[in-house]
Structure 1
Amino acid sequence: MRGFWKRRGVRIALGVVLVLVLWPLVRTQLLRTKPARPDDATFAQAQRVRILRDTFGVPHVFGQTDPDAAFGAAYANAEDDFETVQDVFAASRGKLGLLKLSKLALANDYYVQLVRIEDQLAAGYESLPEDVRAMLDGYARGLNLYAFLHPAEADGRLFPITGRDIAGGFLHKLPLMLGFPQTLLDLDGETPRHVGQKVAARAPQGEEGFLGSNAHALLGTRTSDGVTRLNVNSHQPWEGPVAWYEMQIHSDTGWNMTGGTFPGAPLILHGHNDVLGWAHTVNHPDLIDVFELERVGEHGYRYDGQVEQLEVRSAAIPIDIGFFTLTVHKDTLWSKHGPVFETKHGTYAIRYAGLDRGLFAIEEWYRMNRARSLDEFKAAMALGGIPMFNTVYADRSHVYYVYNALMGKRPEGFDYHLVLPGNRSDLVFQEYLPFADLPQVENPGSGFVHSCNGSPFNAAGRAGNAVDRYSPTFGIEHTDWNRDLRTLALLDTQEKITPEAFDRMKFDRAYDRRSTMFTHVIDPLLASFVPNGPDETRALELLRGWDGVCDPGSTAASLAVLTYKSADPEMRGEGDPTMPDAAAGLRDSIRWLKEG
């Protein structure tokens, strides 16, 4: 009898373990109910779409109308990477925790409610032009049809998706591009940030975070064959929600764009149509202001001599933990400045560029897609929804550069990279510098414009640059990176540029003699480094004879780059050693190369 109960107990225990192991899997399948069947209009729209693929697998989408073409763009993107597309819309709706059990998902879903994406949609979505909303609706219908036809891939809790949800994706991503998450992380770090102290608003420019996009436009008057050329060379991650997805979107009503977009975006973000093209690169104006609030009581704060009350909401964040869905509640706060973030060090209000204009970015990119001339392109950009990005443009007769940014008009006398006092309304920007007043260059005498993330005041080389007449409160950068210097060395000449030379420029591997590689590392080492032993003597001779070109087989290049990365904080990546100077960096690089 005792053995019977023992065996029965073992069976019960095994059964419990089996249930515990299998229940999350069974529950997931139960929750992933088949998305609802789309309406008949969706199936009719699908008949007006063709998706063709070239030998690289790149989709070329053809639709009768723009909404039809957007429908096909959504379906093609879903065919290639539905998981990422679904994640994008879960994230923008604050429901990423239903798909992923992680701190990142929890932080994302809180962020969605912190910046009030739903409020922005409620206030502005219906004000978007009808053709823009129709395009967004077409894209949503394409995703809904794919989800219905592939239920094993789709989570029924997230469907159907609407055009409003597509618009929410822009409101979700744009603050991320400005550096909003890095600002929050810095404020929540171990080091207190108080009025007058610097806040890190962007990711560090290390091996993983370095922003290295390039764009070049060359007029036909500067080319050997008379052809205007555009180089679109943005650097993004290889995969994920901001990895480039290449496609062509074509409608019978005049939309015909080829280029790169992000998963879940219904249009091309940069590329070309049949008459013009453009490229974006990241720029770095000061687009985020942080204010330290002086708290009064539980929810009060001082503002212009008065005590104002924070708006308090409880954010309900659903998290699927496998066995059941748990809803976590956390307060979100809002002040007259914008979203408010509480840390152990203090309470901070954040105002970021485009806080009230994110929806305009959708129309702006859409009008840029459909532009047929430089004037139409400029009119599109003047809508002022895209909060940042250098933009380099070319058509058959024009090249154009603009340092695009929503730069708030601020009082002089403050460094807006620092934490600001939150008790003064005059420090809270309400207006932006008009588009026409931004740094820009059209058809300069040099015959080219470029952007390699550097200063906008050297975009055209020696002839026709924008005049640096801008307030330091805008935080416009003045650095010329090596890629800028190499561009100027190769293009800012009197020579006609051949197609082959233009291609070589794109793949150029050289360091300019004016770059920090030479001014901070090579030149100081050659001037003052005293070698200790044959290895250091050999290393110094290698650097002395190096031509600055980073060919894969170059020992000197390997030595120089390793030394540069360890000795220069701006080049240092995660895991790289921190050395006090170039000499220490060189010695450590020699050691590492010999051990490797």
Structure 2
Amino acid sequence: MLRILKTGGLGLAALAFTVLAVILVRGAATAPAPTDPAPIVAKAAAYDATIKRDEWGVPHIFGARDADVAFAFGFAHSEDDFATIQDMAIATRGALASVKGKDAAITDYLVHLMGIRETVNTRYESDLSPEVRAVIEAYADGVNYYGALHPDETIAGFLPLTGKDVAAGFIFKTPFFYGLDKTLMALFEGKTGAPSGGLSKEGKNAFLPARTPTPIGSNGVALSPARTADGATRLLVNSHQPFTGPVAWYEAVLESGEGWHVAGGFFPGSPFMLHGHNENLGWANTVNEPDLVDVYKLTINPDNDGQYMLDGTWHDFEKTVAHIRVDLWGPFWWTVEREVLRSEHGPVLKTPNGYFAVRYAGIGEIRQVEQYYALDKATQLSEWIDAMKLQALPSINYIYADRQGNIAYVYNAQFPDRKTGPDWAGVLPGDTSSLIWTGYVPFEAIPKLFNPRSGYVFNANNTPFRATAANDNLKPENFPGTLGIQNNMTNRAFRIEETFGADQSITADAFRAYKFDVSYAGRSEMARIIARVLAVDARADAALKEAQAILEDWDRVADIHSRGAALAILMAEPVVTAEMQGKTPPDPMDTLKDAMNRLTTHFGRLDPEWGEVNRFRRGDLDLPVDGGPDTLRAIYGTREDDGTLSAHGGDTLIMFVTWDAAGRLSSESVHQFGSATLDTSSPHYADQAPLFVGMRTKHVLFTKDDLEGHVAESYRPGQRGQASPEALP
């Protein structure tokens, strides 16, 4: 992985494309031909499924075959979030700049650089089973059917979406969860540490995990019957995501006659439940960041810059040309060309200070959809482990629980099978093939924990060596340094140890209360920063002395009535964010003064109630909200001109899953907004927001019996509003 890269001041100018085409007028000859909807509509007739929406608008999809369910889900998903699905698919084709303009060109370039379409075109049929291809193609058919029926919402040239497009979305997106974009941008920018930015706003909005100015994390906790007061098994599913965009959660329940029955969270463009539960088991995901990227400095032939040295021999680069069409304004566009290089190591970037190759977990991988399908359909721990052994997912922690009372934690990743000795955290010499790893460490050798005696496992984006009680934790010395395992802790991890970890007999009410904890631990970065500010002599500065008194009196609780949270969080957030981004953090005294000025300017005092500052906004709603950055009840806000913070991410879809002592399943959930992602006129645009802000949940209607009496709409794809719920099965 890139730790320190001394390449000089390249900057984003490295992505300035050479314009090889003149500005052209988009006329009838160059505009994409209109899509004939007739074949799409005819193809839809091959599927037989029903969409039932409950009182919250959550879709419940029923069909005889998995493919039937996937088709209807693609249609229902599009009813609520078609624009996001469409943008994401256009991005997978390397064509986002043709719609979003020049700022999206970098995303298109990366699609070419990473060989996304080459991977999907060469491995789609060989690496994916017919069953998985049938499901992702059916999902694409459902999206297409919606688009064909709503041409006013469809961008010219988008239809048809294909199964390859769906697979490509997983291929491109998954490496960015562990931070591949950080390394690529560091190379582009010539930084000597982690980059300050990432992909363009348009690129992020269309495709990638948003890296907002504040850190975003996730929580997952599993309790075995040994840890609960009533002998139940419990699972907390609590990924922290942006509220909107390509990695914002969408809730659904799917049930086929072929055993695919799941409830949980889906990303736009995904037919598979990514985390949640089925009847027998469930899991939560949290982001992990092991070292999964290696950077190599190449030696270039001084007589031929199309060659690099490897094992004493000059090798030709594999060269292609990325043709990127960029929308300008009105009918004007241009096409630019950018050379794309690959070496035996992987993609190559040319910088003013040399050529660098990148090798990363997930390179050339297409089986992500295969693994998610297997996870969704697993019925017991052994089957779930078999699915994990596919090792098709480049990263992501798994926290598992099941009806048998089993719990587990897996620090999942495609760990490169590296040789010992080299400094894999630095820039490696690229002239020897001995440093080009060709496989991954087997599942048996990665960090994981099954059924610890303590009866609980957790992760909150912290080191895997703190996942349960101290005596049961994994030992660092049992894992080689070549795995690049992270060693960090978060406030949320500290608070899990102080809540779940301190309670030997956890009740259902305590389980929920601990999740919605809004406190900062005494060992947290927040506490450390406050201590540093309090150590400053303020006798000559009355305003600073008042601020210190507020911080000293604050109990480190970020509820809406707190009088110290606003000052503390506005002071600490820039410091913690810079540290997490690998940048030199600002002096806390400077950020304290900024916070003091902001609060006095907009609120007339240094200690307004946190709820006056921390706001949850959606449509006409404008509500105070508990929680803050890196609290278990996680809320991250955008700084507004009026001095407030508008929540934009953190807690989103939350699920509490329980199997009682007899193995009976029940679950509850809440979404930050509601099922109607984009439709501001829908009653489900913000109907769950009051529940979310109040830290309350609704029942997940998992079975047909649960759903009975709660169906607000029932229809087949394309027939919404044409029949009453009673008229269709």
Which residue type is aligned with residue 372 of structure 1? Answer: T
- Which of 337, 341, 346 is residue 345 of structure 2 equivalent to? 337
Which structure shows the bigger proportion of residues in helix conformation? 1
Aligned match for 1:371, one of 353, 375, 378:
378
Q: Does 2:284 align with 1:304?
A: no
Identity score, percent: 38
Q: Does 1:507 align with 2:508?
A: no
Contact 1:35 1:159 in 2 (8 A): no
Aligned-residue offset at 1:524: 3.6
**Residues 378-415 of structure 1 deviation map (CA, whole Å, 9 limit, x = unaligned):** 11011010010111011121111000011112233333
1:12 corresponds to which residue? none
| Residue in 2 that maps onto 1:129 | 129
* Alignment match, 2:599: 593
Alpha-carbon distance between aligned partners in 2 of 1:201 and 1:266, rounded to the nearest angstrom: 33
Measure, in 2, the Cα distance between the counterparts of 1:181 and 1:301: 25
The match for 2:44 is 43
Structure 2 counterpart of 1:478, one-letter code: N
C-alpha distance in structure 1 between counterparts of 2:148 and 2:33, whole Å:
11
Contact 1:38 1:145 survives alignment (8 Å): no
Contact preservation (8 Å) 1:61, 1:72? yes
- Out of 374-383 and 457-466, give the one that drifted further: 457-466
Structure 1 residue matching 2:85: 3-state secondary structure: helix
Distance 2:509 2:575 in 1: 36
d(CA) in 2 for partners of 1:528, 1:399: 47
SS at match of 1:485: helix
Ranges in structure 2 where 5+ consecutive residues have no aligned partner: 1-24, 200-209, 603-729
In the alignment, which residue of structure 1 is the partner of 2:95? 95
Question: Please, which moves more after superposition, 461-470 or 243-252?
Answer: 461-470
Provide the rounded CA distance (Å) in 1 between the counterparts of 2:33 and 2:240: 36
Higher RCO (C-alpha 8 Å, min separation 6): 2
Following superposition, the deviation at residue 207 of structure 1 comes to: 5.7
Amino acid at match of 1:264: G
Aligned to 1:252: 257
Deviation at 1:353, TM superposition (A): 0.3
Residue in 2 that maps onto 1:318: 325
Displacement of 1:431: 1.8
1:85-135 deviation digits (Å, cap 9, x = unpaired): 11111111122233222321x222222221112221233111211111111
Contact 2:341–2:349 under 8 Å retained in 1? yes
- Alpha-carbon distance between aligned partners in 2 of 1:29 and 1:213, rounded to the nearest angstrom: 46
- The equivalent of 1:218 in structure 2 is 223
Distance 2:581 2:296 in 1: 30
Q: Counterpart in 2 of 1:76?
A: 76
Cα distance change of structure 1 residues 99 and 27 upon mapping to structure 2, 3 Å threshold: farther
Give the structure 1 partner of residue 246 of structure 2.
241
TM-superposition CA deviations, 1:540-586 (whole Å, max 9, x none):
33333322211223222222223323444546899x99643x44544
1: CA distance, partners of 2:243 / 2:39: 33
Contact 2:43-2:141 at 8 Å conserved across structures? yes
Structure-2 separation of matches of 1:379 and 1:111: 32
Letter in 2 for 1:168: A
How is 1:273-284 mapped onto 2 (pairs within 5 angstroms)?
273-284=278-289
1:305-363 per-residue CA deviation (whole Å, 9 max, x = no partner) reads 2111101111222334442554322211110001111123321111110213x212111
Name the counterpart of 2:654: none
For 2:399 and 2:227, how far apart are their aligned partners in 1? 17
**Residue 487 of structure 2 corresponds to which residue in structure 1?**
478
Deviations 1:175-211 (A, max 9, x none): 33333333222212254xxxxx655599699863513
The residue identity in structure 1 corresponding to 2:484 is G
Deviates more, 1:276-285 or 1:412-421: 412-421
Return the match for 1:448 from 436, 451, 456: 456
Distance 1:82 1:57 in 2: 16
Alignment match, 1:384? 391
Contact 1:213/1:235, CA 8 A, preserved across alignment: yes
Alignment partner for residue 487 of structure 1, among 490, 493, 496? 496
User: For residues 588 and 209 of structure 1, do their structure 2 counterparts lie closer, same or farther at Cα, with a shift above 3 Å needed?
Assistant: closer
Change (3 A) 1:109 1:540: closer
TM superposition shift of 1:66: 0.5
Answer whether contact 1:75 1:142 (CA < 8 A) is retained. Answer: yes
The letter for the 2-side match of 1:477 is Q
Match of 1:148 in 2: 148
- Which has the greater radius of gyration? 1
Q: Which amino acid aligns with 2:316?
A: Q
TM score, norm. by length of structure 2: 0.72
d(CA) in 2 for partners of 1:489 and 1:214? 15
Give the match for residue 409 of structure 1. Answer: 417
Query: Which residue does 1:548 correspond to in 2?
Result: 556
**Offset of residue 251 of structure 1:** 0.7
Q: Which residue of 2 aligns with 1:107?
A: 106
- Give the Cα separation in 2 of the matches to 1:279 and 1:285: 18
Superposed CA offset, 1:140-168 (max 9, x none)? 21122222222222234232222222212
User: How far, CA to CA, are the matches of 1:320 and 1:436 in structure 2?
Assistant: 49
1:292 is aligned to: 297
Please state which structure has a larger fraction of its residues in strand: 2
Q: Distance in 1 between matches of 2:574 and 2:280?
A: 46
Aligned pairs for 1:551-570 (under 5 A) are 551-568=559-576, 570=578
Counterpart of 2:419 in structure 1: which amino acid?
P
Distance of 1:503 and 1:77 partners within structure 2 = 29
CA distance in structure 1 between the aligned counterparts of 2:288 and 2:79, rounded to whole angstroms:
33
CA drift at 1:222:
1.6
Q: Aligned letter for 1:544?
A: E
CA contact (8 A) 2:323 2:337 kept: yes
1:139 paired residue number:
139
Partner of 2:274: 269
Give the structure 1 partner of residue 119 of structure 2. 120
Partner Cα separation in structure 2 for residue 508 and residue 252 of structure 1: 40
Superposed, 1:527-538 pairs within 5 Å as 527=535, 529-538=537-546
Q: Is the 8 A contact 1:559 1:589 kept in 2?
A: yes
Alignment partner of 1:299: what SS?
Answer: strand
| TM-score (norm: length of structure 1) | 0.88
The 1:207/1:96 distance shift into structure 2, 3 A limit, reads: closer
Shift of 1:225: 2.3
- 1:539 and 2:543 are equivalent in the alignment: no
Q: 1:342 to 1:440 in 2, by over 3 A?
A: same
Matched-pair contact (CA < 8 Å) for 2:214–2:577: no
Describe the shift of the 1:222–1:310 C-alpha distance in structure 2 as closer, same or farther (beyond 3 A).
same
| Counterpart Cα distance in 1 of 2:72 and 2:181 | 33
Residue 590 of structure 1 and its aligned partner are, at CA, apart by: 3.3
| Residue matched to 1:466 | 474
Correspondence for 1:3: none
CA drift of 1:70 comes to 0.7
Number of residues of Structure 1 aligned to a counterpart in Structure 2: 562
Residues in 2 aligned to 1:304 and 1:224: alpha-carbon distance in whole angstroms: 63
- How far residue 227 of structure 1 moved from its aligned partner, in angstroms, is 1.8
